[in-house]
Every structure is written in structure tokens, then in C-alpha cells.
């Protein structure tokens, strides 16, 4: 259609900022649903990759943002003390392992937080190497990309690893990178590297997602995160938890490091923190976060409207007991997905925690070859049937569920029913290869 949003967008918005799975022309949203140009309401099981953590137009966010924009406390906190950013920083410190000695940096997105982390940590330690995990995503800005191990981000040489970067396998129980106990093997390999190629005096830090999302929603085996923390302590290396996608209640706990009682040195936040508005934070010890002054500054950092949204998100997670909700609704989804796996042999593995869940599609259960084409078709069909799912994984074959963490049980049931039909339709050849051909590339 000549005047459709998609046509107008093709003429106006650059492809370099697009990752698409199917047409999704949005004109509004409420709760867990998006409203499309043709008036259809679709259930958003991605929650905009986890950013819409309270869904769309949550009344607490609407009220906070409306008040803040009606009486703006400046537009930034870089050259002024802005009340909402101070209040938000104090509230974030209350979540940190060491509120007295930690400081908060505020920014716009997770990429920027991890970029700031790289700059602040290298400046403070004088070390410039990082260790990260193959499949990990830490951002789209130079600093974050340069420590990311997700192949879809390695698009050109500008996206390359930093000099001296070391990647290690994530302990994936479904496709283990080493024989034997995967957790022990990965930790031994990590220590072997420290004793050989990456001497600790060169290594500034290790960055990890407590559940690796874009790499395939991989949940590490119990004991891995605490084992890693222990080795970092022994070798005097900073441990950085990237909580951008799984932090702030999504796993059923406030942070993914809480799963094993780990105490990280630095924590990065993004996505959920703004509840859909651009907001991110980095928290760490003042010796890293305070020096040198002005190291990582952009004009609208600490923006009062975004900070007010962040405060509303933190307040709502607690007042609506959303960690509990993520646990309960997440376990309903896992149970329902396991029932689907009995009917649909494409499903090789289901894994997750709370409301971060991956459904790994395979062409056969023995080889576990990623069923990427079928995955693309299933999410395409699910959108036509009324629910938004995106996929992740280096094989582009893991349907990801990161819905709003206030998703209710009825909505979870609706998502399962739609997914069931989408599998059935694809199994019966009702989605053509051409339908999805133009959406490849992630
Ligand atoms: C774990 C993780 N860290 C950082 C980022 C970067 O966040 P953003 O794209 O919002 O800047 C992402 C984005 O997907 C992510 O998944």
C-alpha cells in the first residue's frame, strides 16, 4: 500500500537500524498488547526485547513521566544536580552490594552502560584486556561490541573484538562445548587461560550475563556463576554482571547473580530500567566510578523524564511483587511449553528462569542441528495469529520469551495456544519459504 507505515518507513528509516522478523507496524500499545496499523491487537511476548518490562502505558510510568515532563528538572545531570537522577541513583544503590562505597552512572541504553564500563574499568585498573563469553551480547557501541561474542554483531571490522580480548565458551548444558561436566570444564579452561595467554595482571575484568540471552537463552548449570566469582576473587579480576536483559526481576529474582548469591564488582542495567524509555545505569566501586571526572559524558545523561520512569519501574516491581509473578507465570509457561514439546518434535530443548525462556528448535534430536527456517516461519505465523515472538541464538533457532514481567496467566495461556497453532501450521506447510526469505540475517 502506497501510504502504509511500512512503505513510508522504507522511504525514511535506514536499514542499518533494522532487525525484522515479520511486518510489525505499531500505532499504540496497552499492557502486554501492541496495537497495529490495521487495528489488530497482538500479545507482545518479546516485550520489545525485554525493554517493556511493565508492558505498555503502565499507569505508574504514565503518571511519573507526565509529572516529570510537565515540570522538567533540567534535561541532564552532567552540569547540574537533577532531583530525579539523584533519587534514582539512591534507589539503585539500595539494590547494590555496597551502597556506601558504590556510585551510579546514568545513561541511555545498555550499550552505553557497557561502553562506559570498559572505559572506566580500563582507566581505573590500567589493564586493558577483558574476558567474555562466546555468544554474549554487551552492546552496539564500540566498547560493548568489542567485548561481545555474538556472531551476529560481528558485521564488519568496526565491530571487531578489542585487541587482547579473550573469549571463552558459555557453559551450555544442551550443546556442551566440552565433554564431561560442562561447568567444571569451562572453569578449568578459564583458569588455564589465566595461567597462559591471559595473565591476570593484564585482565581488567570478566563480563557475563547470568543467563545468556541473545546467544540462545542459555541457563548455566548450578554452581557455575559462583565458581566463576570464586576464581575472579582468587586472581584479583573484576567480575562484571551484565543485567541489561535479565536484571530487575525477570528471572524471578532482582538480579541474575542473586541466583547463586554472587557479589559482582560492577553491574550494568538497561532495557527494563526505563520501562520502555531510554535509560541505563552502571554501578560499581567509587575508585572506578569517580575517576577521572567527565570520562564518559553525553548531554542528556541523567535525563529527568527517563529517570522518573526508572523510579516508577523500581517502585512497581516491588509494589506489584513482580519477581513473584515472573516466577509463577514463568513456570506456567515452561510447563505449557513442555506439553507442546510432546506434540511438536521440532522442539529440542526448553530452558529458562522466570520470564526469560528459550525454545530451541532442532531438525532432529540427535544432531541438534538448528531448525532456523522453521523457527523463522513459526514466529512469522505466530504474528499473523496474534502474538509477537522474536528468535535468538547463533543458529537463529531459539524462540525467545521475554514478555512484560507483569504478564498474567490468561495472557500466558493465550501465548501457548498461539504458539501451538503456529507450530501446527508450519508443520503442515502453511507458511512458504518466500514469506520469510526477506527477514533473514539475525
Ligand atoms: C545482555 C545485553 N547487554 C547489553 C545490551 C545492549 O543493550 P541496548 O541494545 O539496549 O543498548 C543487550 C541488547 O540486546 C543485551 O542483551
Task: Indicate whether 75 and 218 sit together in one domain.
Answer: yes
35-48 mean pLDDT: 98
56-69 mean pLDDT: 98
Q: Which domain holds residue 81?
A: 61-319
User: Does 178 reside within a domain?
Assistant: yes
Q: Is the model's pLDDT at 440 over the cut of 90?
A: no
Please tell me what DSSP assigns to residue 388: E
Residue 144's pLDDT is what?
Answer: 87
Q: Are residues 111 and 211 in the same domain?
A: yes
Measured distance CA(416)–CA(431) in Å, rounded: 19
pLDDT tens sequence across 175-212: 999 999 999 999 999 999 999 999 999 999 999 999 99
Q: Which of 319, 350, 377 is the last residue of a domain?
A: 319
Ligand 1 centre to CA of 277 (Å) is: 14
Residue 1 cell numbers, joined: 500500500
- The H or E element containing residue 119 is helix 110-125
| 354 and 413 share one domain | yes
43 in the same domain as 76: no
CATH of the domain at 255: 3.40.640.10
In a domain, 276, yes or no: yes
Q: Identify whether residues 309 and 350 lie together within a single domain.
A: no
Statement to judge: residues 332 and 312 lie in one domain? no
Is the CB of 135 inside a 6 Å radius of any atom of ligand 1? no
Per-residue pLDDT, 161: 87
* C-alpha dihedral (261, 265, 271, 273), degrees to nearest 10: 80
Across all residues in the chain, what is the average pLDDT? 96
Confidence (pTM):
0.97
Beta strands in 247-397 (DSSP E): 266-269, 280-285, 347-353, 356-361, 387-388, 390-392
Q: How far apart are CA 140 and CA 114, in angstroms?
A: 9
Q: Does the beta carbon of 278 sit less than 6 angstroms from any atom of ligand 1?
A: no
pLDDT at position 260 is 96
The domain boundary, picked from 270, 290, 319, lies at 319
Note whether 292 and 375 are same-domain residues: no
338 plus 273 within the same structural domain? no
CA of 306 to the centre of ligand 1 (A): 17
Q: Per-residue pLDDT for 153 more than 70?
A: no
Crossing angle for the helix pair 409-427 and 322-343, to the nearest 10 degrees: 20
259 shares its domain with 354: no
Which strand ranges, in their side-by-side order, compose the sheet holding 41-44?
A: 26-30, 33-36, 41-44, 387-388
Q: Are residues 197 and 215 in the same domain?
A: yes
One domain, residues 190 and 111:
yes
- Is it the case that residue 336 has pLDDT exceeding 80? yes
Q: Give me the mean pLDDT over the 19-37 stretch.
A: 97
Residue 436 has pLDDT above 80, yes or no: yes
**Which pLDDT does position 441 carry in this prediction?**
66
Does residue 118 register a pLDDT over 90?
yes
140 CB less than 6 Å from ligand 1?
Answer: yes
Quick check: is 299 in a domain?
A: yes
Measured from the Cβ of residue 291, the count of other Cβ atoms closer than 10 Å reads 11
Q: Is residue 265 part of a domain?
A: yes
**Last residue within a domain, chosen from 319, 337, 366:** 319
pLDDT in tens, 4-23: 999 999 999 999 999 999 99
Please report whether residue 85 resides in a domain. Answer: yes
Residue 93, C-beta contacts closer than 8 angstroms, at least 6 positions apart: 99, 102, 104, 283
Domain count, the chain: 2
State whether the beta carbon of 270 lies less than 6 angstroms from ligand 1. yes
CATH code of residue 52: 3.90.1150.10
Is 155 found in the same domain as 296? yes
Element (H, E) at 208: strand 203-208
Exposure string for 233-258, b = 16+ CB within 10 A, e = fewer: eebebbbbbbbbbbbbbbbbbbbbbb
Domain-located, residue 442: no
Q: What is the pLDDT of residues 276-303, one digit of tens each?
A: 999 999 999 999 999 999 999 999 999 9
Amino acid at each position: 500500500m502506497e501510504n502504509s507505515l511500512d512503505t513510508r518507513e522504507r522511504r525514511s528509516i535506514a536499514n542499518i537500524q533494522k532487525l525484522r522478523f515479520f511486518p510489525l507496524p505499531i500505532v499504540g500499545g496497552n499492557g502486554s498488547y501492541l496495537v497495529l496499523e490495521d487495528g489488530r491487537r497482538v500479545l507482545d511476548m518479546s516485550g520489545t526485547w525485554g525493554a517493556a518490562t511493565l508492558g505498555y502505558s503502565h499507569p505508574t510510568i504514565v503518571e511519573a513521566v507526565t509529572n516529570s515532563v510537565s515540570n522538567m528538572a533540567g534535561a541532564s545531570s552532567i552540569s547540574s544536580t537533577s532531583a530525579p537522577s539523584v533519587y534514582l541513583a539512591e534507589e539503585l544503590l539500595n539494590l547494590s552490594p555496597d551502597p556506601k562505597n558504590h556510585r551510579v552512572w546514568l545513561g541511555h541504553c545498555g550499550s552505553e552502560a557497557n561502553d562506559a564500563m570498559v572505559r572506566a574499568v580500563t582507566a581505573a585498573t590500567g589493564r586493558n584486556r577483558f574476558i567474555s563469553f562466546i555468544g554474549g551480547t554487551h552492546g552496539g557501541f564500540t566498547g560493548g561490541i568489542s567485548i561481545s561474542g555474538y556472531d551476529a554483531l560481528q558485521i564488519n571490522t568496526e565491530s571487531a573484538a578489542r585487541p587482547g580480548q579473550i573469549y571463552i565458551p558459555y557453559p551450555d548444558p544442551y550443546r556442551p562445548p566440552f565433554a564431561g561436566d560442562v561447568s567444571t570444564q569451562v572453569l578449568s579452561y578459564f583458569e588455564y587461560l589465566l595461567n597462559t595467554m591471559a595473565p591476570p595482571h593484564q585482565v581488567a575484568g570478566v563480563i557475563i550475563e547470568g543467563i545468556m540471552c541473545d546467544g540462545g537463552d542459555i541457563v548455566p548449570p548450578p554452581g557455575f556463576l559462583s565458581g566463576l566469582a570464586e576464581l575472579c576473587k582468587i586472581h584479583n579480576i573484576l567480575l562484571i554482571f551484565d543485567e541489561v536483559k535479565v536484571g530487575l526481576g525477570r528471572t524471578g529474582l532482582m538480579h541474575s547473580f542473586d541466583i547463586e548469591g554472587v557479589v559482582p564488582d560492577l553491574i550494568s542495567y538497561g532495557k527494563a530500567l526505563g520501562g520502555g524509555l531510554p535509560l541505563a545505569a552502571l554501578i560499581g566501586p567509587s575508585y572506578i566510578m569517580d575517576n577521572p571526572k567527565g570520562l564518559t559524558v553525553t548531554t542528556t545523561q541523567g535525563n529527568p523524564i527517563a529517570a522518573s520512569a526508572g523510579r516508577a519501574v523500581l517502585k512497581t516491581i516491588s509494589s506489584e511483587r513482580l519477581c513473584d509473578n515472573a516466577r509463577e507465570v514463568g513456570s506456567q509457561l515452561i510447563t505449557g511449553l513442555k506439553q507442546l514439546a510432546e506434540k511438536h518434535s521440532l522442539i529440542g530443548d526448553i530452558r529458562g528462569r522466570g520470564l526469560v525462556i528459550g525454545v530451541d528448535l532442532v531438525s532432529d534430536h540427535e544432531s541438534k542441528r538448528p531448525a532456523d527456517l522453521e523457527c523463522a516461519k513459526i514466529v512469522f505465523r505466530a504474528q499473523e495469529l496474534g502474538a509477537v515472538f522474536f528468535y535468538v541464538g547463533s543458529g537463529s533457532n531459539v524462540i525467545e520469551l521475554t514478555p512484560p514481567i507483569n504478564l498474567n496467566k490468561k495472557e500466558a495461556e493465550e501465548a501457548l495456544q498461539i504458539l501451538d497453532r503456529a507450530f501446527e501450521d508450519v508443520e503442515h506447510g502453511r507458511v512458504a519459504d518466500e514469506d520469510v526469505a526477506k527477514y533473514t540475517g539475525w
